[in-house]
Structure 1
Amino acid sequence: MSDIKRIKPGTRMSQAVIHNGIVYLAGQVGTPGADIQTQARTALESVDALLAEAGTDKTRLLQATVWLADMKDFAAANEVWDAWVAPGNPPTRACGEAKLATPDYLYEVIIVAALP
């Protein structure tokens, strides 16, 4: 198990796990109760911080899964995503609608990235 590194481990989960040169992030959410673009922006800021702590960045994304509380927010969330994702380095991505932890959450993103 020494080849597994956990970042910000808690009782229920770690915010990130590194194994075999891959970083797996827990779902990142934005500011509860804020509008979709604010939530997307703050969730992606959390992604940036965790990737930096793991020793990588968004140019090394492999996969992203985006959950929206309502697909009516798809275009607005994509505006934030498109401004954030590293040009020329988009990951594979899926986006779907899901009932999130509480009605205050509109956006959640799960990321997998490679270490340099």
Structure 2
Amino acid sequence: MITRLQTSERMSKIVKHNGTIYLCGQVGAGDSVAAQTADCLSRVDALLLEAGSDREHILQAIVWLSDMSDFTEMNAVWDAWVPQGHAPARACGEAKLARDVLKVEIIITAAEKLET
């Protein structure tokens, strides 16, 4: 069974299938890559909560930066956000993002938390 949440004509923000959660790419507001990363990760937290998961259940993250020179600054925010011992598989690359003001976009795949 596939469940789609926050769906529009173009996309769903959350898709759930067989205990796996797929989030659409998240971007954030702010002038710096640190501010955008923090805002983006806050949005990830909210979507994971809505989908029945959390940071400790992230399986994979794909990070796109508009400029790889922002890698260290983004990582400082990322490293503080990821729970110790729960780092997901991750890739990071440079890409032209949808709008010129965007510096970072993060795509998350996570597992649902099991009911206890």
Q: TM-score by structure 1 length?
A: 0.95
Residue ranges of structure 2 left out of the alignment (5+ in a row): none
Per the alignment, residue 55 of structure 1 pairs with 52
Matched, 1:12 2:1: no
Match of 1:43 in 2: 40
1:30 corresponds to:
28
CA RMSD of aligned residues (A): 0.7
Identity of aligned residues (%): 53
Q: Please give the alpha-carbon distance, in whole angstroms, between the structure 1 residues aligned to 2:10 and 2:3.
A: 16
After TM superposition, where is structure 1 displaced by more than 6 Å over at least 4 residues in a row?
none
Question: Helix, strand or coil: the match of 2:69?
Answer: helix
Q: Give yes or no for the alignment of 1:91 onto 2:85.
A: no
For 1:108 and 1:86, the matched residues in 2 are separated by 20
Which of 89, 100, 103 is residue 103 of structure 1 equivalent to?
100
TM (norm. structure 2) is 0.95
Shift of 1:95: 0.2
The amino acid of 1:20's aligned partner reads N
Q: How many residues align?
A: 113
How big is each residue's C-alpha offset from its partner over 1:78-111, in whole Å with a ceiling of 9 and x where there is no partner? 0000000111000000000000001110000000
